[in-house]
Amino acid sequence: MFINADGSKPIYIQISEWIETEILNGNFTKDEKVYSQYKLAELFNINPATAAKGLNILYEENILYNKRGLGKFVSNDAKELILDKRKNQTLKGLIQEVVLESERLDVSENELIDMIKTINKERKGDAT
């Protein structure tokens, strides 16, 4: 993962999203300890306080939990929480942008659905 220090998204958000992706990919599983703020700081060459802020977001969302003196661990329902969050925030926002752009370009709903189906078929074809 590459952290974009010059991007519009704050680094601590990028850290939290990276950990979420690692959980979704199965690289961190339930009840497994995630990297400490110091390890994240070392990995991404960032300030430990910035890394801590990213970890705290996930703690506040119940994706991670604390074990006193040991660090942060993946909660039992972390994967479901992340999937729900990404579907209802990220994916919904992207779809809204696509729908608005399709309206500006006078693309019908059926045309848009056909485009999605075509892209999905191409993607699945590339994966095999």
Residues 19-38: pLDDT tens digits? 999 999 999 999 999 999 99
Cβ neighbours around 38 below 10 Å, total: 11
Q: What is the pTM of this model?
A: 0.76
Residue 120 Cα to chain centre, angstroms: 21
Report the candidate in 51, 94, 56, 49 with the shortest Cα–Cα distance to residue 72: 56
**What's the pLDDT tens digit per position in 46-60?**
999 999 999 999 999
3-class DSSP assignment, residue 74: strand
Q: Does residue 108 have a pLDDT over 70?
A: yes
Residue 128 has pLDDT above 70, yes or no: no
Instruction: Say how many CA atoms lie within 13 Å of 82 toward its Cβ.
Output: 25
pLDDT at 75 over 60: yes
Give CA–CA dist 10/54, Å, rounded.
10
Q: How far apart are the first and last CA of the chain?
A: 25
Predicted local distance difference test score (pLDDT) of residue 1 = 59
Please state, in angstroms and rounded to a whole number, the distance separating the CA atoms of residues 14 and 3.
Answer: 7
* pLDDT exceeds cutoff 70 at 99: yes
